[in-house]
A and B are shown apart, each in its own frame.
Chain A
Amino acid sequence: MVSLKELKKGFFTSLWFVFLTFPIVVIKVDPIERTVMWRWQNALYMAAGTFCVYLLVKYFQNRKENQSSNENKAQTSSLIHRALQKPLQRNILFGVVATFAILFPHLFSTYQTNVMTTALMYVVLGLGLNIVVGLAGLLDLGFVAFYAVGAYSYALLNLHFGLGFWTVLPIGGLLAATFGILLGFPVLRLRGDYLAIVTLGFGEIIRLILENWGEFSKGPSGISNISRPGFFGMGLNLEQSIHYTYYLMILFVIVTIFVVNRLQDSRLGRAWIALREDEIACQAMGIDKRKTKLVAFSLGAFWAGIVGVMFAAKTTFINPASFTFLESAIILSIVVLGGMGSIIGVLLGALILILMPEYLRALSEYRMLAFGAILVCMMVFRPQGLISNIRRTYKFEKKTN
């Protein structure tokens, strides 16, 4: 439990936070009307809130210390993995999830289906970024640029040449992958944190160009009336086309999971993990650093491009405001929350982060605040994410006759 000393410390911590947040939280001025609003009740909330959070953190820290750490930790973290290892349980779980996914549009309204489609798009985006950040350990803060490349390539090709969704889908993906390589080449030599900033700069450059180069991209007003995905030339009404987009997205998610899963265990995937763990040792083992990094960049970008095309086709309208740094941050939070490198983690992370704000409308203002807090808390308390990735291990077992 919490000792008296900690209570006292908690008291002072909350006092400190009241002081810290005083000007911004308590005072609100209106410079035009020239009035001051003193919101004293906020200081009280802040004090109470900080005190509770402090005690909670202390309580969990104490409990963690008291536990005979290793055993329990291993058990709780691998609950899902253990469930997946048993074939029966796994099949039941997959069956339930699959039935739910197939029936979803018929059980819920088109609005819900739309929201779910968006969440699924973030799953694919998360899985794409997961290759770059989770597996290869290259922090990419400009991931949204590739997403934008995909979206704009469909929008522009559709606008000028009337190309359909299925034609542009691979083109958009490949274009994004090309951009990935273009970005990858110059930044190969950079270390983690420099890389993060350059990718961020790259993402912003793409957005600013889209915003300012009016003749090319129609500027901030964006491009509207993009065709929805076609289905063998059949005309679909709005509801049908929403359902169709949903099922397409499910298909994409399955394909992506399959590919990423296969990649993870391939020679390339193991090279990425090695690169993440130690670049020098990795090179010493004869892995071509340049090639491995470039492939990671372009593959990650490829998925972003595909989802970009999908996004443009789903919303039928895009403008540069959809591709801000915040978007990159959301995708990154998905990967970090879920657990870097873990596919189920990313799946879960995307569903939590995208669906939660939709259903907790009252809290939607606090959404970005929560994203920020999640990133910090996850790093401090649970760096491995909700579901940590388990490295494949091989055990030597003696045959007993």
Chain B
Amino acid sequence: MDYFIELLFSGLTRGSIYALIALGYTMVYGIIGLINFAHGEIYMIGAFTAFIVATVLSIYGFPLLAIVIIAGVAAVLWSSAYGYTIEKIAYKPLRHAPRLSPLISAIGMSIFLQNYVLLAQTSDFLPFPMLIPDFEFMEPIAHIIGSTDLVILVTTVIVMVLLTLVIKFTRIGKAMRATAQDRTMATLVGINVNNVISATFIVGSALAAIGGLLIASHIGQINFYIGFIAGIKAFTAAVLGGIGSIPGAVLGSLVLGLTESFATGYVSSDYEDVFAFSLLVMILIFKPSGLLGKATNQKV
């Protein structure tokens, strides 16, 4: 039973990380109908920025709390800046191009960013500093759920609630929803669509950066390639939940995280990624609109 609960929590932890990344995919897709292939790379850059800042600060002897806060802020800040810039360079000029063009451009951007980090930093796995200490009150249940997992779960819940509030009640949130529903109509009622798209990229990137920071301190090491596989999996999660739907992305991520956790725990850990990809293929074949997505007919 303990093993089951352990797997359950590890699945939930994975799922929440996927959710943080998947939200970026789903929000961007909801608004401009583009699979932002470079999103996984944003997450990787977030993790790298956090790694660099945290290591520099710890070398200069800052206290742990200050390191966590500054590294977190830096990761969010730079990831958002990357997200914003990528949109301006690689997607904005292609807004009226055929569907395949922005996708190819996104793939190019993803390859570019990976190799940019590879060249500017290193191809080795780097040890990520311990940002989250082992809490004392967690001691009795530490064999089932670690402190890091708890922090990840709590942070994810807080971020989700904040995001929901932003989207439901703020001006920019309303503008985002309006743009997602009908871009032309949104322009007609005076919404600056370009700003909304930029804002979406910024919010999505910030979430991915938080995900990057959390997972890097969970796994304890990073390299330039982590974004690719995480990006694909988060995308799987977004599709599983129904792309374009925000609750769907969260649900899909949790389902994917649990599936992976149980499959690796009870079947075999060699095929971890195969499970995720097979799940993706299955969903797209049998229920292309996802768990919570709406099936739309193509109109002429």
Residues of A within 8 A of B (CB): 16-17, 19-21, 23-25, 27-29, 31-32, 34-36, 42, 133, 137, 139, 141, 186-187, 189-194, 196-198, 200-202, 204-205, 208-209, 212, 280, 325-326, 329, 332-333, 336, 365-366, 368-369, 371-376, 378-380, 383
Known contacts A20-B78, A189-B288, A190-B284, A332 near B119 by CB under 8 Å: no
List 13 additional A-B contacts (Cβ < 8 Å) besides A32-B127, A372-B109.
Answer: A24-B45, A31-B55, A35-B59, A36-B59, A187-B284, A189-B288, A191-B298, A208-B277, A329-B107, A368-B115, A368-B118, A376-B108, A376-B112
Task: Give bound CA distance, A101 to B150, whole Å.
Answer: 65
Closest 3 pairs (CB-CB, A-B): A375-B108, A372-B112, A372-B111
Asked if B110 CB lies within 8 Å of chain A CBs, one says: yes
Task: Give bound CA distance, A379 to B93, whole Å.
Answer: 9
B59 touches A19 (CB 8 A): no
Residues in chain A near residue B35, CB distance under 8 A: 193, 196-197
Rounded to whole Å, the gap between the CB of A49 and the closest CB of chain B is: 13
Chain A's closest residue to B129 (CB) is A31
B56 touches A379 (CB 8 A): no
A373 touches B81 (CB 8 A): no
Which one of B3-11, B46-54, B184-192 contacts A?
B46-54
Asked if B300 CB lies within 8 Å of chain A CBs, one says: yes
Residue of A369, A373, A374, A380 near B94 (CB, 8 A) is A380
Interface residues of B in 284-300 (CB under 8 A from A): 284-285, 288, 298, 300
Question: By the criterion of a CB under 8 Å from any partner CB, how many residues of chain B are at the interface?
Answer: 65
Known contacts A16-B85, A20-B81, A186-B285, A379 near B102 by CB under 8 Å: yes
Asked if B116 CB lies within 8 Å of chain A CBs, one says: yes
Residues of B within 8 A of A (CB): 34-35, 45, 48-49, 51-53, 55-56, 59, 74, 78, 81-82, 85, 89-90, 93-94, 97-105, 107-121, 126-127, 129, 228, 232, 235-236, 239, 270-271, 273-274, 277-278, 280-281, 284-285, 288, 298, 300
Known contacts A197-B35, A204-B277, A368 near B121 by CB under 8 Å: no
Q: Is the interface of A mostly helix, strand, loop or mixed?
A: helix
A212 touches B53 (CB 8 A): no
A193 touches B103 (CB 8 A): yes
Residues in chain A near residue B115, CB distance under 8 A: 366, 368-369, 372
Residues in chain A near residue B300, CB distance under 8 A: 280
Chain B's closest residue to A186 (CB) is B285
Known contacts A137-B100, A208-B271, A23 near B52 by CB under 8 Å: yes
Rounded to whole Å, the gap between the CB of A159 and the closest CB of chain B is: 22
Known contacts A29-B55, A380-B93, A139 near B100 by CB under 8 Å: yes
Central interface residue in A17, A36, A193, A332, by most chain B CB within 10 Å: A193
A198 touches B49 (CB 8 A): no
B56 touches A29 (CB 8 A): yes
Residues in chain B near residue A34, CB distance under 8 A: 59
Known contacts A25-B120, A27-B52, A194-B284, A379 near B239 by CB under 8 Å: no
Residue of A24, A133, A186, A365 near B52 (CB, 8 A) is A24
